[in-house]
Structure 1
């Protein structure tokens, strides 16, 4: 755990409860330590051994039964669902039915009909249903969003977004452990697939920048059928995303191609680029386009864009990520405390899930799919 860092990110005091004490829960606890105004009330996990280990490591109160945990919460508390993706729908529904706001790890549910049902239930109960990832609230994403809004690169025409993680089956993933000793859940990761697990990181940024995706043309495939625990789930996908506001984006996900986490917004004046999706403090650069000796050139170094004021608490790198996983719950609590709308909306959670599932389920026979849900773009943070 690290010390407090000042900043102008969400600061609404409040309380959260965690459901799930596995690998990612440690990343959330490291991040929550940077938000001293947020109290972690308790944690529940269906595995007694894991619950005991996680609770003891972080000094939390473990609750063995989900119903008991939910019964102890008050209006205004936020439940953070960190369970296996296949359990998301049931857990999210139970929390909403108990009258609690929910921050869910991605996706909201494994089936679109279930995600829509959750969205409708939250609306009927007047509750927030927010989906990870919250890196869209991070410094890099907000700086990029602000630059797009100001037209730094001119009119955005095309976006290339890469979420290729390297040849993961050859990595020593059996040795990867979280701080409390939880192993990286490789069986779940391979069974759920890299698209459902990772596409949301840049999809959230793109939806925040451009709003609704009206059409998806995608293909997905399992190119590594010999990986441990292979289930036929796609481990590669590529999608063309057609935004209602005009731009087109290409998004790739894989656990086979060499590591590449770049996002490039290509405009009339040049290119805005971020190289690291999983680093809140990743540099955002503008590569101006110009003509030199009859050649069209983009500045190879680029001008770095910087925040106008302190942004949010930062978290040091752990494994592949340097992300503050608590920015989402913190934003929800701040919105509740200040009586305003949450920047991460219920509509965004549903739209993100629908687009991700469209890519995941495209299969080898790619085709166009019309997206029915909608989402408004996000305004950049004042410091961006």
Structure 2
């Protein structure tokens, strides 16, 4: 299958994981990397044997079909709109935008231009999550009744070299980590219809303990502990907790409850992990992970699927409709918290098709 030219904008912390994983997908032809800080682009290019280019060069290159946008969240829509204006499909790091209105602007521009947009996370395509979905789809847990989703930590200033953006508008635990959890739950259960939520911001600033900015104080502009409930179109109700304020906890990342059983789903920040099933009257048992991409970090799997979809003229899985729906749901937690009212979700989305075969060898599941 003819390769798809890729241009990468943004050479920060996450770009290394993308570039390492992209090497495993023959369909992806990386034509260059760029960053507003050209030294960062040169360093990343040297590390992976690529060419450091300017952002304008990437937009102008006719051999580049997809711009991969790995900039900070508040730049996702701006860079995405420029990519679309240059006639490129675009795939961004999560979230799609820092608010629903901006995300919809990007989605509408893509539709008007007849171009594709995609967005991380693509971890829901990993073998652990696809195995969990297959069990639900086979009716193993009966009728889905509800579930829980929990991400709680002390904050990213402990480890990230430049953590300020996590606490700016567009950051916070819901927009940062929520995409993994909510995208996976939509993959498992379908679209969300209503959200109720509460949120708190108990500190006005945080102290960085990572290098090289150890000891520096950074302002907090967003809620850092968010909790609430999502109601799904299929009738399931899922409790959610996302926090940068919790020292530790014992909750598993995702549980899905059904009338006939309960499913423990792997951490949605990873592609793999144990899948456990409890059938009514029994105990939890490990389930064999039967789907591909369960033995590593495949951050770019969604891009490879998008590239195959372009060549095969089929929908891609980590698509703009999914990302926009998830963005609306995440924003609804903050809206519900601010207004003290349940929020009705205006978008809906089809669950992406399961991914049951490998993309690495050019074999895809339609």
TM-score band (shorter)? 0.7 to 0.9
Distance 1:331 1:29, change over 3 A: same
- Which residue number in structure 2 is paired with residue 15 of structure 1? 5
The Cα shift of 1:67 comes to 2.2
Task: Name the residue aligned to 1:302.
Answer: 285
Counterpart mapping for 1:328-339 below 5 A: 328-339=302-313
State the partner residue of 2:354: 380
CA distance in 2, matches of 1:12, 1:274: 36
Contact 1:221/1:364, CA 8 A, preserved across alignment: no
Say if 2:273 and 2:294, in contact at 8 Å, map to a contact too: no
Correspondence for 1:215: 194
What TM-score do you get using the length of structure 1 for normalisation?
A: 0.84
Q: Which residue of 2 aligns with 1:134?
A: 122
Uncovered stretches (5+) of structure 1, i.e. residues with no partner: 1-10, 177-182, 291-297, 316-322
SS in 1 for 2:310: helix
Unaligned runs of 5+ in 2: 208-217, 358-364
Report the equivalent of 2:271.
280
- Flag the 1:172–1:267 CA change in 2: closer, same or farther, 3 A: same
Give the CA RMSD over aligned residues.
2.1
Alignment check: 8 A CA contact 2:197 2:342 kept = yes
- More deviation in 94-103 or 339-348? 339-348
Q: Which residue of 1 aligns with 2:179?
A: 200
Once the two structures are overlaid, the 10-residue window that deviates more, 202-211 or 89-98, is: 202-211
Paired position in structure 1 for 2:53: 63
8 Å contact kept, 1:269–1:288 = yes
Is residue 311 from structure 1 mapped to residue 292 from structure 2 by the alignment? Answer: yes
Aligned counterpart in structure 1 of residue 70 of structure 2, from 78, 82, 97: 82
Superposed, which structure 2 residues align to 1:69-218 within 5 Å?
Answer: 69-74=58-63, 77-164=65-152, 166-168=153-155, 172-173=158-159, 176=160, 183=161, 185-191=162-168, 192-218=171-197
What secondary structure does 2:273 align onto? coil
For 2:146 and 2:5, locate their aligned partners in 1 and report how far apart those are by CA, in whole Å: 41
User: How big is the shift at 1:275?
Assistant: 4.2
For normalisation by structure 2, the TM-score amounts to 0.88
Measure, in 2, the Cα distance between the counterparts of 1:113 and 1:289: 44
Cα offsets for 1:76-103 (capped at 9, x unmatched): x211100011111110100011111111
Aligned residues: 344
Q: Could you tell me which residue of structure 1 aligns to residue 25 of structure 2?
A: 35
SS in 2 for 1:342: coil
